Amino acid sequence: MARKPRPELLELSVTGLGPNERWLARVRVPLDEEWAAEAEVIDQNGQPVIASLAFVPIDKVPLGGLTARTARPPFGPIYAAARVLVRKEGVDDLTGTVARWGYVARKPLKRQPGRRRRPDVDYARVAAAYVTACARGSRKPVQEVADSMGEGRDYIRDMLAEARRRELLTSPPPGRPGGRLTAKAEALLAQ
């Protein structure tokens, strides 16, 4: 007896940062021994929704083609496979961006009144957004992060300087944007 194929992630893309993030995950989920569903699952207002759905033969088109029973797939397994595959893909994502899909509320930064210290995780979040913007080739990564988080450019610049001081973000060559998340920042984002 042939082994039933497992769900697989065909494509994953992320655009935007923070509250403006948009997600697209293309997944292939086997329906039976002969057919699979290929679905595009997107993040819409924090909820995964199926944007498109196609039926593809696993090996070759079976005799009789696609049946009406096969063409009515349960959508729950498609969503579940998308969540599991996206989370698994995000394990090696140093910024933690992919791993946040559908799991972590997108919280804006809260201003700290008085002289209370901001927790390291807030600086790690800003640093992760900055690293992601740099990796995407942004010409103005600080401004992009500021816009996505609804903050001023100078405020985000100061937070990045503090993130470097707290050893959450490495320093790039003088006068150049960039840097990498440190192990300390990755550990904070993984919590």
Examine residue 22 and state whether it is found in any structural domain, yes or no: yes
End-to-end Cα distance, the chain: 42
Residue 111 in domain? no
What integer pLDDT is reported at residue 109 of this predicted model? Answer: 60
Count up the domains in the chain and report the number.
Answer: 2
pLDDT tens digits, 77-104? 777 777 667 666 654 444 444 444 433 3
* Same domain assignment for residues 73 and 133: no
Based on the fold, state whether residues 127 and 183 are members of the same structural domain. yes
What pLDDT does residue 24 have? 74
What are the DSSP E strand ranges found in 18-91?
A: 22-30, 35-44, 47-57
Residue at 59 is within a domain: yes
Same domain, 64 and 146: no
Note whether residue 51 is domain-resident: yes
Looking at residue 17, its pLDDT comes to 54
Are 19 and 96 found together in one domain? yes
Mean per-residue pLDDT, 159-182? 88
CATH number at residue 132: 1.10.10
74 with 132, same domain: the answer is no
DSSP 88-144: HHGGG-TT-TGGGTTTS--PPP-PPPTTPPPPHHHHHHHHHHHHHHHHTT-SSHHHH
Domain that residue 160 falls in:
120-190
